[in-house]
Amino acid sequence: MERTAHAYWLRSPGAGEIQPVPLPAVGPGEVGIRTLYSAVSRGTEALVFGGRVPPSQHKAMRAPFQDGEFPGPVKYGYLNVGVVEEGEPELRGRPVFCLYPHQTRYVVPTSAVTPVPDGVPPERAVLAGTLETAVNAAWDAAPLVGDRIAVVGAGMVGCAVAGVLATLPGARVQLIDIDPSRALIADTLGVAFANPPDAHGDCDVVFHASGTSAGLRRSLELLAADGNVIELSWYGDREVTLPLGEAFHSRRLTIRGSQVGMLPQAQRGRRSFADRMALALQLLADPAFDALITGESAFDDLPAIMPRLTDGTLPALCHRIRYP
């Protein structure tokens, strides 16, 4: 295994570059990995790229193998699939998923990787971190058979949630977005689609993932009495305004934050982070999730691609990065 790798670094807000980084030797309990694919988690990485992580959240927002500090220089990212080249004999040659930044090769503890199951292509497995977020949100909501469910915001996370819940028996699952082109993705995932004004109301649970105040307000409007909004958006340094003086109290509505950094309380004694990741990868056997990958670029193009993903001139849900 080569002892020098190359990594994408955010040098300062709005400016990234690829730099050489030394690789340590692979020690006991570690594996050396050559990256096949990574992916840009557009919502979160756009906030990082723009230097919009509030100081109060610098610790909470650290990626598992982040180097540097916000706002930069920082090496950030957490959707990586590679092949094991050194380390545990039973893993050598196996594709694995790891919460690692955009880097050509790396060394991590064996416990940090999850083997990609047979039947899940490595190029689809880059979605595992997003599916893990969706699984965590579903555990937070604990939807029931026959529930009326809305997902507001058909971005990468919202589509993943809709895909996870699409096969819930008897459930009415509707994906809601202002972009009518997302209807095709909803159809691929096997759920209904609506523009916000036309969405079905009287929902038992609404997952909010639009990242906007308007989306969160609409989520509350769609709830039945005693319904729950599972809040998946992360707003960075933006303020959110809500009409909590209207029917919020009389209808006994709830807004519950869901964040993948912790397991839901009901699951903490029964499931581990490894269990959750393994389940996410298992769910990716469904080829419908390929609809979430809307573009691909070479690793060397990342410095030019990131500004376009951030400002929206390159539209994307999940943008995949391929490595030489």
235 and 163 part of one domain? yes
86 and 168 part of one domain? no
**Burial of 249 by CB count in 10 Å (0-12 exposed, 13-18 middle, 19+ buried)?**
exposed
Residue 248 contacts residue 224 (beta carbons within 8 Å)? no
Query: pLDDT digit string (tens) for 93-131?
Result: 999 999 999 999 999 999 999 999 999 999 999 999 999
121 and 213 part of one domain? no
47 and 161 part of one domain? no
Domain tally, the chain: 2
119 and 136 part of one domain? no
Is residue 1 pLDDT above 80, yes or no? no
- Rounded Cα distance, 269 and 19, in Å: 42
Residue range(s) defining the domain that contains residue 101: 4-127+284-322
Query: pLDDT digit string (tens) for 251-287?
Result: 999 999 998 888 998 899 899 999 999 999 999 999 9
Output the six-digit token pair for 204: 């038992």
> Per-residue pLDDT averaged across 284-295, rounded?
97
- Rounded Cα distance, 99 and 171, in Å: 32
62 and 104 part of one domain? yes
In a domain, 270, yes or no: no
Is residue 236 pLDDT above 80, yes or no? no
Q: What is the mean pLDDT of the chain?
A: 95
72 and 98 part of one domain? yes
225 and 159 part of one domain? yes
pTM of this prediction?
0.92
Q: How many other C-beta atoms are found inside a 10 Å radius of the C-beta of residue 261? A: 10
CATH of the domain at 311: 3.90.180.10
What percent of the chain has pLDDT above 90? 88
Instruction: Identify the band that residue 85 occupies on the pLDDT scale cut at 50, 70 and 90.
Output: very high
251 and 290 part of one domain? no
CATH of the domain at 247: 3.40.50.720
List, in order, residues 6 or more apart from 48 with CB less than 8 Å away: 10, 61, 70, 74, 76
Is residue 306 pLDDT above 90, yes or no? yes
In a domain, 274, yes or no: no
145 and 253 part of one domain? yes
230 and 151 part of one domain? yes
- Rounded Cα distance, 76 and 66, in Å: 5
